[in-house]
Amino acid sequence: MNTKDIVLIGLLAALLKSSQAVLSFLPNIEIVSLLILIFSIRLGAKRTIYITVLFSTLNIMIWGLSPATIGYFFVWSGYSVVCSICKRFLNKDINVAIFLGFFGLIFGALFALIYLPMGYPYVLTYWINGLTFDIIHTVSNFIIGLWAFNPVLNGFDRSMKMVYGKNIVDNKL
């Protein structure tokens, strides 16, 4: 990993945090899922995991240490790996919209797993309590995928070409 990669990781983690903060007044409407998906299919899982770990660390620094902030490490890193594995499927806006919608639907369930040490009833209660927010997350992620995937991906590709001086399609950095 070179200096450009290290700076890029820091900047993209800051982009995730700032985009999360800008939309924080809207419940479960976010572009972090879309951005991590794009980072994963263009930069690969390894670089994106570094980005998500730094993003999760920034959340702990702002919100404090809790099961939810710890869950960010697992959920976002795992999501980036799944996005990298599925990158051949994630080439059309409708596929991305379906993928993002599904992720929005299971997001609460993934976070509920953090509470397994407290017992299954607590996990189930936590998940059911957040279903309304998961539905909002599903619908908003689907719409964001349809509306923003191609413009954001094209902008990201142009930016990376400026930084690295070559195309980065298929993780050829």
Closest-CA residue to 55 (of 21, 99, 97): 21
Extract long-range pairs of 105-112: CB within 8 Å, 24+ residues apart: 105/134, 105/135, 105/137, 105/138, 106/134, 107/75, 107/134, 107/137, 108/133, 108/134, 108/137, 109/134, 110/71, 110/74, 110/75, 110/78, 111/68, 111/71, 111/75
The pLDDT score that the predictor gives to residue 63 is: 92
- pLDDT confidence band for 173 (50 / 70 / 90): low
Q: Which residues make Cβ contacts (< 8 Å) with residue 111, sequence separation at least 6?
A: 68, 71, 75, 126, 130
User: How far is 100 from 106, CA to CA, in rounded Å?
Assistant: 10
Give the count of alpha carbons within 13 A of 24, CB side only: 9
CB 19 within 8 A of CB 35: yes
Q: Does the pLDDT at position 35 exceed 80? A: yes
Q: With 60 as the cut, is the pLDDT of residue 170 above it?
A: no
How confident is the model over 85-124, as pLDDT tens digits? Answer: 999 999 999 999 999 999 999 999 998 998 888 999 999 9
Q: Report whether pLDDT(136) > 70.
A: yes
